[in-house]
Each structure stands twice: as structure tokens, then as C-alpha cells.
Structure 1
Amino acid sequence: MPSNSPRTSPHPAAHRRPKLLFYHVHDPHYGFTNFSAHPVQYKGKRYPTSEHLFQAFKFLDTRPDIAEKIRKTSEFPRDAFNEARNQQAHVRPDWKDVKIAMMDIAIEHKFTQHNDLKEELLMSADAELVEDSAEDAFWGIGKDGKGRNELGKALERLRTKLRSAQRPVILFYEQRNPYYSFTNLSPHAVAFNGEMYPTSEHLFQAFKFLECHPDVAQKIRLCKKPSDAWAEAARHKTKIRADWHGVHVEKMDIVLWQKFNQHPQLKEELLATGDADLVEARLRAPSWRRF
């Protein structure tokens, strides 16, 4: 059962791909677990979580009455797990052979029915997805960190499937990779209302204060690096315009419009992406949404 105490990634230097650990209820990416509160529709019926659906799969073809009892047991995934365990004698005989395929079905229904989770999964780029469970060495990595991690592998398979079924995906964020200029951190100055901002990040951070505390906005504009602009805005977070959460997307649109129209080569690069799905591939939540 997901707990509150995070564990560190085992042997991080031994793997080239970055690791994205999930499992603990208060940590990022808890939605990747089957215990997250995301209901799933399957064949016309609602299951409170993907754990309910997965546990019901053990009985759906052979004992649909038990499967229905699991579906209705409560909204809590632990109750579904316990009910299935109590009915262990009635589990379909081939369960060990089909359980990974059933997990694939359960999580595909979950992620395709919740666009926020789908986006979060796609934004994990090529990270190794790891269920950081000390209690489960099959679906997770177990106490010694050497478990099979089959849920993590299932999520990676789904990530690949979603990408191949969608529009082409262009990932951007890392400075060494193509399309870094699509980020607000790229060194493309932006003019706005007669003043020059070193990057679009400077302008975006300044928007938090421009109308209510122009002195703070000016300090941000004069920062040397985009990270400094972000930090300066964070220092003054108590002065951010009161309606920021209601207007921040609109302000980002303005920032990007100014940046790409003032740099023709960026505009051409953006248009050349066609109908590709553009994904800012940070493993953490984008900083512009934090406050």
C-alpha cells in the first residue's frame, strides 16, 4: 500500500536513462499507481480505481459475481485488493500467465480516460519508470531494489503505444537537444512595451508584477539569467497579482507570441513542426505553474 516515506533510487550511476520513481501518496507521479483516485470505465461499468479493475480481472470471465463484488466493495483500492485475496481460491486458473496482459489493459483504460495522466506519462520522456515499492518485488522493485518492476515496464509499454498512435511527438527542454529554443530559457531577447527582456522567462516572470508592483517587475527584467529572474519572482511571491492563477496561461500566450514573432528563425522552426505534439519534457512540474 502506498506510504508516506520516499526511498531513493537504487544504484543511480548504473543506469543511463533517468529514473522516475513513483509509489508514495504525497510524492509526484502518484497517479501512475493503481491506487490513485482515477475511476475507470470498462465495458459500460465504472470501477473506482484501476486497482479495482485489475483485481476484478482475476474473476471476470469465470466468476463475474465476485468481480462485481470487488467493483462495488468501496471506493478504496485496498478494499478491492483484500476482497480479491479473500477469494483467492476462485481466481481464474491461468492468472499467472495473463496477469501482465491484464495490467496492460487496466492501465491503458485508465490513462486514455484521463488526459492529465496521459500527458504526464508522455512528458516522462524516455525515463525509466519505477514503482518504488518495498512490499512488491513483482510489480515493484522490492526491498532490495532488484525486483521485476512489471508495473513500471507496463507503463513504459503504454507510453510507447500512446506515442505511436498519436501525432508525432517533439520533446524539448534539454539545452543540448534540438528545439531548446522552444523553452523560455533560451537566449532570445524579447521586447515588450518599449523595454527589452533578456529571455521570454524574464518577461513571463515580470508579468506576475507588472501591473501591481512595477518596481519588482523591473528588478526581474534586469536579472542576468532566466533562473535569476525566476528566483527573484519567487522572493516576491507575496506580491504576485491576486488573479495570477486565472491569467497565467493567457500571459504565457502573450510571451510566446512576442518571442516567436520577434525572431523569424524561431517562427520558421515552430511552423516546420507541422501537427506534431510539442511536449516540454521536464520530469518535474513546469516551474511556471508553481506560483
Structure 2
Amino acid sequence: MPSHPPQTAPKSPTHRRPKILFYHIHDPHYGFTNFSAHPVQYKGKRYPTSEHLFQAFKFMDTRPDIAEKIREISEFPRDAFKEARTQQAYVRSDWKDVNIAMMDIAVEHKFAQHDDLKEELLMTGDAELVEDSAEDAFWGIGNRGSGRNELGKALERLRTKIRSAQRPVILFYDQRNPYYSFTNLSPHPVAFNGEMYPTSEHLFQAFKFLGYHPDVAQAIRLCKKPSDAWAEAGRHKTKIRADWHDVRVEKMDIVLWQKFNQHPQLKQELLATGDADLVEDSPADAFWGRGKNLQGRNELGKALQRLRTKLRKL
């Protein structure tokens, strides 16, 4: 399974947060910018983008006529930015003292009103969020890459705030971290139809051939390591059952049901996660995990959550 490459030697224990850059419209996470086409409602009024709202904040209390002009100027955030620039003389006198607080309000309203953005933000884990703007060394990192990145910091504050109010997110994948047993690579043998498979990865890979090419399925079962099972299945990819893409999620559900019911301690560990979102933190797989850009489907995490719900009903 592509989300489970061969294990490697442990890396340095020093934890470095991954870094996510956002700014350009053609790159991932453009929705994190204030220029994305996500309208925002504030005090009963619609702002075409969070940039419109943020620029209007500069005048809302002192020159509401200018704030309204910015709101209505057009659907394009650049126009709102330019209009605020032309009205610079009327910006509230304490703007430099409150601009970060106003940004917090703008992004909080935006993400609260767009569930897809909220989910995308939460899926970034503990990554450092960086506005990769060469033009702005205050909200972004500027052309030298050493700017204050205040927009990125605002998004991280919002991420923390949302998590404190919502269900937690549990990441699993790394052998050195908790919940490694939730991966299919953990050393928990699984019995199925009278045969013992060294890991759930062995069984999952064998499912690609069971009932069609039992000799290949048997060769996979006899592999020593889960990475070997994955590689063996790859060597016979032309023999994989034709409907595999249609049934693979269903087969994963079966694999996990067998694994967790045959290992009571794993079942208890899964049930103890409460209502947390379970996310396979695999950078290599955007189907079973969340992928390199943290926007993957996370189908393994979803399968575990389905299993958790099913076990609670027993």
C-alpha cells in the first residue's frame, strides 16, 4: 500500500515543525490568503473576501462611508486594498495598535463560515503556516524571507482556538510516536480464514489477489515484513483484481475489524480516543493518509473512525 513505504532508521529525535507556504493562487492552501474568493458575513453585511473586511476595519468606526465603499467596490480584493490606500489619511489613528487584533477577527469570521477551510486548517497539524509574500514583510515573510509573517501567526492562533473548542485531532504514522498500532505496519498478526498474516498490511495486500490468484496471496502472506508484502503485491500489479479501486475501502474495513477484534488492547486504545479525528500522517499517500500537502483523503483514518463507532454499538 503506497502509504506504507519500507521502514527506515529513526531520524533525529529533535522535532522540527513542517512548514506550509501559502500565497500563490495556483498552489495549495490559497484559501488561507485574504484574497481567496470566500465571502464573509460581518454584522449583517456581506464582504466579498476577508480582504474587503480587513480593509474596511480601518475606517468602520471613524469613516463608515469609506468602509462601505470598500465593501461594495467590487468582488476583487485588490480593489479593496487599493481603495484603502487612497484613503490612507482617514485610517483610524490607532490602527497600528489594533491591526493584528482586527486580522484575528477577519480570519475567524472567514473560517467559521466556510467548513471546508476550517477542515483544511485543522489538517495542517502543528505545521508552521507562512504567507510566502515577497511584497509584505509584516503579514508575510517579504522578499528576504525574514518578515514577521503575522498572517501565518494569526492562522496558527485560530487553529489552536478551533481545536480547543472542537474535538481533538490524533495523528498517527511514525513508529516513534503514540498510536503507531493504528497503522497497518504495526506487529500485530491477524488471522483470516484459517491463515495467519504477520500484520494487517499483509492481509490487506493479499486481498488484492484472494479469490483470483491465491498463489500470489500466499506469497504475500509468507513475506517477512509488511514492506515486503507491499513490494510483493507491486510486483504482481497486473494480476490485481479488476475492481480493486471499487472495493479497497471495504476490504480495509474488513482488515481493521479483524485486527482490532483479535487484539483487545488495540480495541481499548481505539475506543479511548473518544471522538477525536484520526489522521494518518503519511506524507507519501494522499488516499489513505493526508499526503504531502495535508489535503489528502485520509481514508485509513476514516476507516478507523467507522470501526470505533461500530465497536461502541456492540
TM-score, scaled relative to structure 1:
0.75
For residue 205 of structure 1, report the CA deviation from its aligned partner: 6.7
Q: Which moved more, 1:97-106 or 1:117-126?
A: 117-126
Q: Call closer, same or farther: CA 1:70–1:243 in 2, change over 3 Å.
A: farther
Aligned residue in 1 for 2:98: 98
Q: Which residue of 2 aligns with 1:60?
A: 60
Closer/same/farther in 2, CA of residues 274 and 81 from structure 1, 3 Å limit: same
Q: For the structure 1 residues 80 and 227, does the alpha-carbon distance in structure 2 shift closer, same or farther, using more than 3 Å as the test?
A: farther
Are residue 48 (structure 1) and residue 63 (structure 2) matched?
no
Instruction: After TM superposition, give the deviation of residue 120 of structure 1 in Å.
Output: 2.5
Residue pair 2:220, 2:232 contacting (<8 A) in 1 also: no
User: How much does 1:231 deviate?
Assistant: 11
Alignment of 1:138-149 (within 5 A): 138-149=138-149
Distance in 2 (CA, whole Å) between partners of 1:286 and 1:91 is 45
Q: 1:228 to 1:97 in 2, by over 3 A?
A: farther
Q: Which structure has the bigger radius of gyration? A: 2
Q: Which residue of 1 aligns with 2:271?
A: 271
Superposed, which structure 2 residues align to 1:1-291 within 5 Å?
16-190=16-190, 199-200=199-200, 218=217, 225-226=226-227, 229=230, 244=245, 252-281=252-281, 286-288=286-288
Encode CA deviations 1:91-131: one digit per residue, 9 max, x unaligned: 22221111100111111112222223222222322222211
C-alpha distance in structure 2 between counterparts of 1:126 and 1:227, whole Å: 32
Q: Distance in 2 between matches of 1:180 and 1:143?
A: 40
Kindly report the root-mean-square deviation, in angstroms, between the aligned alpha carbons of the 2 structures. 3.9
Aligned residues: 275
List structure 1 segments (4+ residues) > 4 angstroms apart after TM superposition: 189-207, 209-215, 217-224, 230-237, 239-244, 246-255, 281-285
- From the superposition, tell whether residues 129 and 262 of structure 1 become closer, same or farther in structure 2 (CA, over 3 Å): same
- Give the C-alpha shift of residue 254 in structure 1: 4.3
Matched-pair contact (CA < 8 Å) for 1:23–1:131: yes
Taking the aligned partners of 1:147 and 1:21, their CA distance within structure 2 comes to 13
**What are the Cα deviations for residues 45-97 of structure 1, in whole angstroms up to 9, with x where unaligned?**
22222222212212222222322332233332222222222322222222111
**How far did residue 187 of structure 1 move?**
3.9
Question: In 2, Cα distance between the equivalents of 1:206 and 1:72?
Answer: 60
Alpha-carbon distance between aligned partners in 2 of 1:206 and 1:120, rounded to the nearest angstrom: 33
Letter in 2 for 1:74: S
Taking a change above 3 Å as real, the CA distance of residues 79 and 179 of structure 1, as seen in their structure-2 partners, is same
By how many angstroms is 1:158 displaced? 1.2
Q: Which amino acid aligns with 2:55?
A: Q
Identity %: 76
CA contact (8 A) 1:205 1:230 kept: no
TM-score, structure 2 normalization: 0.70
* Letter aligned with residue 59 of structure 1: F
CA contact (8 A) 2:220 2:229 kept: no
Per-residue deviation, 1:219 = 10
Cα-to-partner distance string for 1:14-64 (whole Å, 9 max, x where unaligned): 993322222222222222222222222222222222222212212222222
- State how far apart, in whole Å, the 2-side matches of 1:48 and 1:204 are: 47
| Contact in 2 for aligned 1:124/1:282 (Cα 8 Å) | no
Q: Per-residue CA shift, 1:202-235, capped at 9, x if unaligned?
A: 666777x6699879x9599568545973996799
Deviates more, 1:157-166 or 1:115-124: 115-124
AA of the residue aligned to 1:177: N
Q: What letter is aligned with 2:113?
A: Q
Aligned-partner SS, 2:147: coil
* 1:10 paired residue number: none
Contact 1:123 1:283 in 2 (8 A): no
Listed as ranges, the gaps of 5+ residues in structure 1 are 1-13
CA pair 135-287 structure 1, distance change in 2 beyond 3 A: same
Distance 2:235 2:27 in 1: 22
- Cα separation, 1, equivalents of 2:272 and 2:15: 34
C-alpha distance 280-81 of structure 1, shift in aligned 2 (>3 A): farther
